[in-house]
């Protein structure tokens, strides 16, 4: 597959992933708004912070290193899918071990919530852990689908699973509210079960079909999806296993950085379960755009960079055509996430109070909620830039460089936990976001230095993507001032008419920013139209 083909596939994958994340976040948004009317803040805090942390820790530590290593390893030509699948099946026993360990910690080392306010905590812990192990059954199939760019499979599978989860939650919330945590535990089991079922049904039908033969798919029978030894080769590719171990050490630290605030809340008890619930709702609301735009870009273009670039090799010893494409794509991605992040930061500040008041009423719009969302709007900008820079760095690093970076991640993890505790003690829940900003800034600096050094001997300067045009900066600055004044005058105690006026002011300012982008950022506009909008690209190919 040529570099252009890989780019087209990665762009399509990113586009579909964005649509998928939009649907996920909208459904989750509506589901949270619905549950706020039926359950207490304490129950939401236990589900969205403590139990979700158990699940995310289990699946991340069990599979993330395998995903990165295997998707990098199969980008070359000298690999055996038999060995890759054998390696991927190790995620299941590893997941069982993590589940046993985490269940013990969650049940016996952490403070249990009040059984009157949050019933059935113990069974819920076990059910969330089982759902994580259940999801690992689909891991070899997921990697196969990603490596061969089966973009629609992921969309369909996760869409059906999410719809099933929301349906179960709503039904049980209405007709069996007294079940407490059983409601959310059962819904999560249904979600992971649907994921596994969709992937299994697809590959059972696909393997051995004419479509598989036409695509030259490396597997032909369902039995080849199970672990077994091939004649004349080791059970696993040991070089790939070593790379997995390097990524595993890194993933452990990355998980602490990604979910650091939840670990601090869970293990240090700096916030009550009710405050944790409010923080998590605001956090989910603030990260909505980040997750449905930035995360799909990071996941999809990591695959692109891993396939186009040769890991660990000097830039001069690689195909210059591939390096040129990678540099151009990196520059455009940096400009894209920078522009989107700046827009979110500017308009998020002036519309945080209105958004929370509409979404959750005084429960969210009073107290620290608006300040949390304003701070998170600024954090989104750092989150966006870091996602793109790290996806390139992790695809280009050699194994030795990955091992070296693990020490950097260790230092960042320790400093993050310390900063989270100290800043939370000083500034309450806002301290979590401030600690995230500081650590994200340090990670961005490290990645920028690596990228600068990587391209220093070439003619390409992809970091120019971080320099917005003067006209765009002026448009954003004017919008920030105008929307802030509009909030002070029109929002949010004067009724819906004045709220609509405030929204209209923001829409006008946003239109002006879009015009500035269209006029000055022509390369970015062309990249989005040709690579991230499948319908437009189909008309021009």
Cβ contacts of 536 within 8 Å, gap of 6 or more:
529, 530
Give percent of the chain with pLDDT exceeding 70.
Answer: 89
Question: Residue 185's pLDDT is what?
Answer: 94
pTM for the full predicted model? 0.69
Return contacts of 230-239, CB within 8 angstroms, 24+ apart. 230/80, 230/82, 230/83, 233/80, 233/82, 233/83, 234/83, 235/83, 235/86, 236/83, 236/86, 236/87, 237/73, 237/79, 237/80, 237/83, 237/84, 237/87, 239/73
Spatial separation of the C-alpha atoms in residues 73 and 76, rounded to whole Å: 6
Crossing angle of the two packed helices 181-206 and 139-147, in degrees rounded to 10:
50
pLDDT (tens digit, 9 = 90+) per residue, 57-103? 999 999 988 888 887 755 444 567 888 888 899 999 999 999 999 99
Spatial separation of the C-alpha atoms in residues 168 and 171, rounded to whole Å: 5
Residue 139 pLDDT class (50, 70, 90 cuts):
very high
Q: Given a cut of 80, is residue 180 above it in pLDDT?
A: yes
pLDDT (tens digit, 9 = 90+) per residue, 423-449? 888 877 888 888 889 988 998 998 999
pLDDT (tens digit, 9 = 90+) per residue, 486-529? 988 888 777 788 889 999 999 999 999 999 999 998 888 888 88
pLDDT (tens digit, 9 = 90+) per residue, 239-249? 888 888 888 87
Spatial separation of the C-alpha atoms in residues 155 and 148, rounded to whole Å: 15
pLDDT (tens digit, 9 = 90+) per residue, 212-229? 888 778 788 888 888 877
Q: Given a cut of 80, is residue 172 above it in pLDDT?
A: yes
The 3-state secondary structure of 58-94, one letter per residue: HHHHHHHHHHHHHHHHCCCCCCCHHHHHHHHCCHHHH
The mean pLDDT value of the chain amounts to: 83
In the numeric block, the tokens 């619930």 are attached to 277
Q: What three-state secondary structure class fits 538? A: helix
Question: Residue 13's pLDDT is what?
Answer: 59
Question: Residue 21's pLDDT is what?
Answer: 60
């Amino acid at each position: 597959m040529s570099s252009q083909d890989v780019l087209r596939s990665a762009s399509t994958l990113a586009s579909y992933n964005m649509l998928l994340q939009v649907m996920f976040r909208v459904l989750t948004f509506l589901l949270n708004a619905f549950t706020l009317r039926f359950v207490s803040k304490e129950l939401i805090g236990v589900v969205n912070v403590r139990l979700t942390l158990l699940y995310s820790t289990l699946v991340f530590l069990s599979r993330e290193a395998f995903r990165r290593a295997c998707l990098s390893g199969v980008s070359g030509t000298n690999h055996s899918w038999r060995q890759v699948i054998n390696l991927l099946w190790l995620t299941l026993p590893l997941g069982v071990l993590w589940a046993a360990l985490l269940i013990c910690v969650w049940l016996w080392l952490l403070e249990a919530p009040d059984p009157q306010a949050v019933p059935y905590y113990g069974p819920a812990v076990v059910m969330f852990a089982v759902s994580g192990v259940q999801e690992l059954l689909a891991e070899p199939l997921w990697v196969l689908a990603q490596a061969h760019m089966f973009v629609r499979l992921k969309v369909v599978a996760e869409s059906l699973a999410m719809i099933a989860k929301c349906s179960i939650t709503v039904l049980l919330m209405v007709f069996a509210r007294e079940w407490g945590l059983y409601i959310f535990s059962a819904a999560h089991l249904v979600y992971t079960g649907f994921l596994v079922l969709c992937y299994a049904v697809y590959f059972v039908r696909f393997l051995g079909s004419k479509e598989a033969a036409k695509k030259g798919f490396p597997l032909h029978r369902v039995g080849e999806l199970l672990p077994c030894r091939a004649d004349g080769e080791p059970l696993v590719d040991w070089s790939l296993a070593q790379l997995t171990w390097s990524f595993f050490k890194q993933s452990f630290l990355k998980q602490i950085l990604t979910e650091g605030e939840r670990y601090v809340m869970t293990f240090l008890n700096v916030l009550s379960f009710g405050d944790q619930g409010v923080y998590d709702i605001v956090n989910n609301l603030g990260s909505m755009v980040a997750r449905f735009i930035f995360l799909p870009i990071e996941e999809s273009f990591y695959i692109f960079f891993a396939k186009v670039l040769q890991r660990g090799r000097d830039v001069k010893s690689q195909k210059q055509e591939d390096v040129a494409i990678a540099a151009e794509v990196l520059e455009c991605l940096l400009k894209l996430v920078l522009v989107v992040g700046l827009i979110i930061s500017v308009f998020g500040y002036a519309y945080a109070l209105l958004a929370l008041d509409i979404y959750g009423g005084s429960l969210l719009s009073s107290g620290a909620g608006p300040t949390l969302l304003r701070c998170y709007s600024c954090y989104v900008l750092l989150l966006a830039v870091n996602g793109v820079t790290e996806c390139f760095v992790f695809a280009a690093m050699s194994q030795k460089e990955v091992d070296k970076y693990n020490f950097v991640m260790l230092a960042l993890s320790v400093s993050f936990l310390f900063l989270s505790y100290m800043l939370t003690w000083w500034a309450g829940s806002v301290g979590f976001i401030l600690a995230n900003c500081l650590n994200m800034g340090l990670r961005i600096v490290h990645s920028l230095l690596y990228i600068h050094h990587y391209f220093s001997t070439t003619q390409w300067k992809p970091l120019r993507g971080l320099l917005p045009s003067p006209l765009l900066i002026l448009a954003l600055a004017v919008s920030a001032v105008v929307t802030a004044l509009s909030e002070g005058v029109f929002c949010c105690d004067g009724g819906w008419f004045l709220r609509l006026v405030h929204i209209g002011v923001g829409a006008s300012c946003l239109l002006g920013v879009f015009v500035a982008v269209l006029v000055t950022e022509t390369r970015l506009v062309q990249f989005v139209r040709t690579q991230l909008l499948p319908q437009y690209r189909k008309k021009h190919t």
